[in-house]
Structure 1
Amino acid sequence: MIEEPAETAVTPHTEGPEEAARQESVGEAFKRVYEDARAYAAAEAEKQKLRLGLIMAGVRNAAIFGIAAFLMIFASLVALLVGLIHVFEPMIGPLGAALAVFAAGIIVAIVLLLLAKGCISRMKKAIAP
């Protein structure tokens, strides 16, 4: 009796060049996914920084205009009081001057408040999703 050599079982997916190439491509794919996720996170962080910058600039400008408007109203009230003091001297001249200064101060304050409101509106539009 002649013994025949036992056949070795060959599987199609053995550790060979094709398997190594397949493993590299999966590894590369995971590496790309990781790099893309990092890039996305960095871009999202940059977007949030820009958004915060817009908010801070809008709040800063609104605060400046609001404070300037408050100072103009205060200065206008002081001018009105000084003008009223002078009213009692020659009766008509200083009152007209005091009222004109007061009205001009109020108009400037209203314009500054409208500018502050515009800054807030632009900021809200800029940060809207």
Structure 2
Amino acid sequence: MIKGRTARAVASTALALGAAITLAPSAAADSGSSASAVPASANSRAQACWGQPERGSGGHYGNSGWCDSGRYRQAIRCETLGGYRYVHYGPWVWAPAKSTAWCNLGDRVVGTWLE
């Protein structure tokens, strides 16, 4: 009887730890870090992604991106007229939604990627 309780306790602890490890990449993603999750197995289907430049009505420049699977966000590197560079991020979205990031007014996009 004690062996059975011990075995159940060990099994439930292993399940809890496995769930914590599984949730860790998405928890890091929600915190705004640039960590990205790696597929769990090598036979996972490859993710296909697309992007396009955007121009806002106020003259802002940006970029949109979307993928056919997974969770991602658009990231862009912007540059001011004085040469200062910074990064802006779009919202985290699930496929097939579009994520858009914008530079500040008057600045230009010099690089784009999806996280």
Higher helix share: 1
Query: By the TM > 0.5 criterion, same fold?
Result: no
Q: Taking structure 1 as the reference length, what is the TM-score of the superposition?
A: 0.30
Higher share of residues assigned strand:
2
Whichever of the two has the greater Rg, that structure is 1
Which structure would you say has the larger RCO, counting Cα contacts within 8 Å and 6 or more residues apart?
1
